[in-house]
Amino acid sequence: MFLICLFSFFLSLLNTKFVIFLSEKLEIYDKPDKRKIHSKLTSRLGGFGFFVPFLITLFLYSLLVKGFEITDFLICVFPIFFLGLYDDLFGINPIIKLAAQIFASFIAFNLGFRIDYIYFPFVGYLFFGGLSLFLTIFWLVGLSNALNLVDGMDGLASGVAILILLSMAIVSYVLDRNFVFIISIILLFSMTGFFVFNINPARIFMGDSGSLTVGFIIGLISISGFMKGLTLVTLFSIIIMLIIPVADTFWAIIRRSVSGRSIFSPDKGHFHHMLLEKGWSVRKINSLFRGITVMGSLVFFFVFLPQEYFLFTASFLIFGYLFLFLLESIVIGVRKSA
């Protein structure tokens, strides 16, 4: 498994470097404007940079380990990735984009990625029945767009996503939920290879092919591993772990609705924009948001893990936070000395 993860990381490093080169040759850029933070032409094909190595590594693992089935998972994910890639290359109407996400979520529901019931203390089980489809679509579409909304600053969405994936990998490993663990850990290392080039000032952005896909995958594996049957406590803990993208999404909906604008209209009212206006540096904002994600993940650990595992596994998560900070420092240092 360790070798598989290293393979995923280095393949992502090489592929992301190639995608940056290809973007420069084909002039596929995210151009600066008054709404955006960056001031230079930057590749927006980051999703292609890390998703392809993720797929190759996942396929390789499925060949090496008999019984590890990924067909249904790929059928669910491919439509979202190609939707995001098309949007990165050509742009797409927000309504059509939303409809395509709903369709992909409908496919996932029919392939078994669904939220079936919730358990209320002192009351018992409430099976959702026909509402299961609505709740599943709401969860998957919501998470896809939540991570997409957070992707407005160098290293922000990628860093938060890496820590969420690490949390899911840790808990699924302890609970022996192999499918969630493998997906989480391979995607985690693929994204870390991409993260090297996404550090401020970023040479490449996640783009919709990256943020939509990762958000959708997090939604899928959370359902597969932790949400088929919910309790109020487990639902609360998962939302707390995802607090940054979830809170930013609800704030965007409220803010745009109150001002009479479409909830799909872009703006500079996100939490990271507000902190930038107050004089915070990009690195300081990243550190804060990653720290909040770690704190939320500790709640997730407390709910799902046996007590004897909590301190040991929490140390892995804190190490992940420190590793991102150290990797950031190394990359910035190398760039300055070059």
pLDDT tens readout for residues 101-142: 999 999 999 999 998 887 776 667 778 888 899 999 999 999
Q: What is the pLDDT of residue 57?
A: 97
Q: What is the pLDDT of residue 122?
A: 66
Sign of CA dihedral 251, 302, 144, 195: positive
Q: What is the pLDDT of residue 272?
A: 87
pLDDT at 227 over 90: no
pLDDT at 201 over 80: yes
Q: How far apart are CA 132 and CA 114, in angstroms?
A: 7
Residue stretches of the annotated binding site for Mg(2+):
148, 208
264 — pLDDT class (breaks 50, 70, 90): confident
Q: Which residues pair with 58 in a beta bridge?
A: none
Q: What is the pLDDT of residue 30?
A: 77
Q: What is the pLDDT of residue 205?
A: 94
Q: Domain coordinates of the chain in residue numbers? A: 1-336
In this structure, which long-range contacts are made by residues 278-285, counting pairs with CB atoms below 8 Å and at least 24 apart in sequence? 282/37, 282/153, 282/154, 282/155, 282/200, 283/200, 283/328, 285/153, 285/156
35 — pLDDT class (breaks 50, 70, 90): low
Q: How far apart are CA 252 and CA 269, in angstroms?
A: 7
Query: Closest Cα partner for 43 from 194, 255, 168?
Result: 194
229 — pLDDT class (breaks 50, 70, 90): low
Q: What is the pLDDT of residue 38?
A: 60
Residue type, 128: F
Across 239-249, average pLDDT: 90
Q: What is the pLDDT of residue 39?
A: 61
Query: Average per-residue pLDDT in the chain?
Result: 90
Q: What is the pLDDT of residue 34?
A: 63
Tokens of 285: 């904002």
Q: What is the pLDDT of residue 316?
A: 94
Q: How far apart are CA 17 and CA 22, in angstroms?
A: 9
273 — pLDDT class (breaks 50, 70, 90): confident
Instruction: Say how many CA atoms lie within 13 Å of 10 toward its Cβ.
Output: 5
Across 29-44, average pLDDT: 73
Q: How far apart are CA 85 and CA 210, in angstroms?
A: 8
Residue stretches of the annotated binding site:
148, 208
Across 95-99, average pLDDT: 93
203: three-class secondary structure by DSSP: coil
Q: What is the pLDDT of residue 116?
A: 86
301 — pLDDT class (breaks 50, 70, 90): very high
Across 295-302, average pLDDT: 94
- Select the more confidently predicted residue: 121 or 17: 17
Across 149-160, average pLDDT: 91
Secondary structure of 121-189 in HEC code, one letter for each residue: CCCEEEECCCHHHHHHHHHHHHHHHHHHHHCCCCCHHHHHHHHHHHHHHHHHHHCCCHHHHHHHHHHHH
Q: What is the pLDDT of residue 155?
A: 93
Q: What is the pLDDT of residue 37?
A: 65
Across 216-229, average pLDDT: 87
pLDDT at 209 over 80: yes
Pairing of strands 117-120, 229-231: parallel
Residue 152 sits at φ, ψ, to 5 deg, of: -125, 10
Q: How far apart are CA 242 and CA 248, in angstroms?
A: 10
Q: What is the pLDDT of residues 252-263, one digit of tens each?
A: 888 888 877 877
Q: What is the pLDDT of residue 107?
A: 96
